Structure 1
């Protein structure tokens, strides 16, 4: 996915890659040192033909064997020096290149963490992953290898041409003229190859997204028997990428054809001209030998231009993709002079709130249209409405996951946009219906919102962390964690998928409770729980909500019973507010919504029952496997 628009001017390759400089600046002295070592190696290599010329025209021509050994020793010393300089070049550039890559990756990750949810709604995770891994790896390899050799080999070619012209003006000019088509083709090659390289890297991102989606959705694919369909879809994308890579290979093969053909033709023409000049006495045999020895030395720098150019254009594309993310403007930022709330009471107010998504036209109705609602300190408010009425969107505005389009949200009379995001999210905690856990211990997941406890070395803070953890797990009825292999130190799988849906929701709820917020926002966090567990959790939650302001999205009638008041959302507006009993008596739409919730609750209960049965079957299957393994082990022991 690219954010580049047609009206954006395309930077030159040099200016595009130069944007890396702030990240590369600390390492540039080492890269320059590596460049100097590589250039010294190239100069030493060019000196060898000069020594050989003296050897051919001197000792070999006169037949004096006493002068051969000193010349051979000089060549040996030059060869050793070349090897040392090449080794130094590698030592100088490899480690700094990894530091540059690390700085860029850390900067990209920090930017991804800072950008609003609206950005992540638009971008595929595979595209971001390919930028963070493969693109930055490509930039690092270009800085450590391609950039250094491109500069050094270009300088070596210039010096080499000067040496060639010094020996023979006409042969040197002939060799120079023959190289001109290479530079012309290189310019044309950039225009063609850059487009293909960009398309290939975008397709790699799409392929990474497909892999990620299939891995995360493996249970759904297996449950519906759609593994083959997913494979065919993946194969189509892989085939598309393969075709683009072949197109890249053909483009590279085209420039390699000319890079190999033109020097060979130049060699043949120079050989004919050199023999004629030597026959006429205008060129000595030693000079002719040294000329071709130098031309041979220049062959690799000339031929390397092809893959160095392709590497450079790949790096340029990777740089463009990197800065597409880094250039994204964060619309949800901290104020320059932030306000603060020393002791929040939890009074949450929505004043004439209008919200429409970023890609929605300004003249279209918003998801929310003029919301006015106030939650008093310690009050629990349930949000009720049919699907699509804006309940989840309203909860997301409270923590600035999105910003209001019009109006404002106040916490204790302070516009939440006047608070830093860190302080705001310290005062307001959320638990989502789609509970996401991280690949970390249960302890780390639950205490995620309490860094002042988890990052402290003080014994008192460690004891407080254990108290908060135990209390949060107790409220969320998450005692199952103690039966895990390592208890609360057990590492849950990626996104918590090693746990059931209900277990994930209980840990997510515990995480929100452990944050000890002034306002607790719950987006139907109990939907995957069975009726009995839900009742226990709700009873424990009432203790928390007695002193905490609660905003709860209700998809079950039982959840509505927890609230002091209920707000009815209809087509993006609050159409009625009152107690559950009051709304039942006076609001027909509320009764309709409740009947819908009862149907949903029944369906959810059936879904939970299915999950429990599947879990029981899985447990029996694992027990059978364990028994079979023990039998096999016992048989093996008896055999031994």
Structure 2
């Protein structure tokens, strides 16, 4: 239990904004306990007074007092549960918002190395587990602790010898709880990790359903799912067995103490050292411990699950963003668009292989440079470095003579429009996908971007720009998704455009029309164009050839075709490939 409380140290501060609610449910919890503890004393008074002395006239007032105490207990319990639920749910919302914000702040390389299902299970299940422990488990732990303390004091007041017997009967709790902790913490961790793995399988099926069906691999994916679900079931059953064993043992202890109280208490009543009313009151106090004893097993299991959930959340929250605003970073109010890669070296995290090394390239304001190279030569990686999706390992990337690491990320990225080869759309309307939260976008800008990208098909959708495109935009064709991604990139006239083969999914006629429109857009704009199709080179003023992680040649398309054998070979292969795709 202590470990569960220690694990919560990071998350309890989320209750501070709701301290008023916490005080209310704390006082109501104390009130319900006082009401419950007073009932046996009233019963003792009734038995030893009106019943023993045959004063029947006092029974009705005493019965009314019991009803009043019961009503007060009901009100206190209602207030406690209501306000504890409100406070914990608000805490859960704040924690989940912070967790999501932290996920967004982490660099792309972090997400490259994590299964999306594991992140989903942490964002949903683990945070909910922490909330459940705070709203129920932690409260019941406090309730149980205070109940034991209050009841023990009242028992000592009635008969100290009986109280000691009860305490001795409860001592095995510590032993059973320690054994349960050692076993259940392993089960809880394995269970939550397996839930994350199962979530990953479901998520992969949902996003890859077209591939699964196209290759007829439904049975394979079904087997993967069933195997993982079987593991999860086995671990869940192991947890149920551990909890059942603990609860059985804990439920036995109050019954054992009840037998001891009846025997020793009966002896004391016979010898006159304890009244019948006192014995009944004492037994009621033993019954008051029955539910807390039963709840201990439940609270302990919730504590272990909370500790595991906290550890899993901490694995993400303790990951510090490697790409963030530096101390002393500044804004760039306006950009001319001059780009320089100065002696750039880059290798992906957890890899010793240099993708780029000693690369130098300057793109003057208003110039468009095409990047050509073999597959895997680092063309797309180069495009990632300017908006700081990754940071260089060596050298500098400069925008208008300023190292991009010395600029606020928001400011840097506000000057750059990006369209990657794989167009990503969100489960939102076409309009929301285009503007991506930009504060003000005029209708004229929107129409211009749609026209440039030849995305006029949006006007024919059922609800026009307000039509929802479904998850990842799969309700649209590949070419339509790519044209919307291109429209998003050019929207707002950014001074720098990064285009990574943005026309790979459109037909030849549409490609020609888009290239004509892009040529007009690129006038006065600095463009970095990752080229996979020879026809796209018409947009480039110069071409940089990358090989071996560095720029080995730069010039116009005509100059390189005349002077560089590798360039001719690459363009020849790509031309032949594109011709076959067109055919």
- TM-score of the two chains, using structure 2 as the length reference: 0.97
Counterpart contact for 2:4–2:306, Cα < 8 Å:
no
1:46-445 mapped onto 2 (5 Å cutoff): 46-360=37-351, 364-445=352-433
Q: Decide whether the 8 Å contact of 1:426 with 1:515 is kept in 2.
A: no
- Tell me, yes or no, if the aligned pair for 1:379 and 1:564 is still in contact at 8 Å: yes
Contact map agreement 2:482 2:505 (CA 8 A) in 1: yes
Q: 8 Å contact 1:382–1:566 — kept in the other structure?
A: yes
Given that 1:35 and 1:152 are in contact with CA atoms closer than 8 Å, whether structure 2 keeps it comes out as no
Q: Distance in 2 between matches of 1:312 and 1:542?
A: 62
Query: Aligned to 1:452, what secondary structure does the other structure show?
Result: coil
Q: 1:509 and 2:486 equivalent? A: yes
Distance (whole Å) between structure 2 residues aligned to residue 57 and residue 305 of structure 1: 34
- Alpha-carbon displacement from aligned partner over 1:565-606 (angstroms, at most 9, x marks no partner): 111111211111111121112212112211331244245446
Provide Cα deviations, 1:120-164, integer angstroms capped at 9, x if missing partner. Answer: 111111111111212222222222222112102211111112212
Runs of at least 5 residues in structure 1 that lack an aligned partner in the other structure: 1-10, 455-464, 607-640
Tell me if the contact between 1:157 and 1:302 (Cα under 8 Å) persists in the aligned partners: no
Moved more, 274-283 or 46-55: 274-283
Write the deviation string for residues 477-529 of structure 1: whole angstroms up to 9, x where unpaired.
Answer: 11111110011221111111110111000000000000321110011111111
Shift of 1:191: 2.6
Cα distance in 2, alignment partners of residues 101 and 349 from structure 1: 45
3-state SS of the aligned residue for 1:568? strand
Query: Residue 27 and residue 544 in structure 1: after superposition, are their counterparts in 2 closer, same or farther (change >3 A)?
Result: same
Which residue number corresponds to residue 482 of structure 1?
459
What secondary structure, in the 3-state scheme, does the structure 1 residue paired with 2:439 have?
Answer: helix
Distance in 1 between residues matched to 2:13 and 2:582, nearest whole Å: 56
From 458, 470, 489, the counterpart of 1:493:
470
**Equivalent-residue separation in structure 1 for 2:580 and 2:472 (angstroms):** 25
- Return closer, same or farther for 1:294/1:339 CA change in 2, 3 Å cut-off: closer
The CA distance in 2 between the partners of 1:599 and 1:72, in whole Å, is: 97
TM-aligned CA distance change 1:343 to 1:83, over 3 Å: closer
Contact 1:39–1:156 (8 Å) recurs in 2: no
In the other structure, the counterpart of 1:518 is 495
1:565 corresponding residue in structure 2: 542
Q: Which residue of 2 aligns with 1:609?
A: none
- Structure 1 contact 23–103 (Cα < 8 Å) conserved: yes
Q: SS of the residue aligned with 2:268?
A: helix
Deviation at 1:184, TM superposition (A): 2.1
Match of 2:530 among 553, 561, 569: 553
The answer to whether the 8 A contact 1:347-1:549 is kept is: yes
The question of 1:452 aligning with 2:433 is answered no
Q: Deviations over 1:85-131 (max 9, x none)?
A: 10111232121212111111111111111111111111111111111
Question: CA RMSD of the aligned region, Å?
Answer: 1.5
Residues 581, 135 of structure 1: CA spacing in aligned structure 2 closer, same or farther, 3 A cutoff? same
Asked if structure 1 preserves the Cα contact closer than 8 Å seen for 2:22 and 2:87, the reply is: yes
Q: Which runs of 4+ in 1 moved over 6 A?
A: none
Counterparts of 1:470 and 1:48, CA distance in 2? 75
Gaps spanning 5+ residues in structure 2: where? none
Match of 1:584 in 2: 561
Q: 1:296 and 1:441 mapped to 2: Cα distance?
A: 60
Distance 1:157 1:107 in 2: 37
* Residue aligned with 1:383, SS: strand
Q: Could you state the TM-score of these two structures normalised by the residue count of structure 1?
A: 0.89
Cα distance per residue 1:362-393 (max 9 Å; x no partner): xx341111110011111111111111100111
Cα distance in 2, alignment partners of residues 149 and 184 from structure 1 = 20
Question: What residue is the counterpart of 1:462 in the other structure?
Answer: none
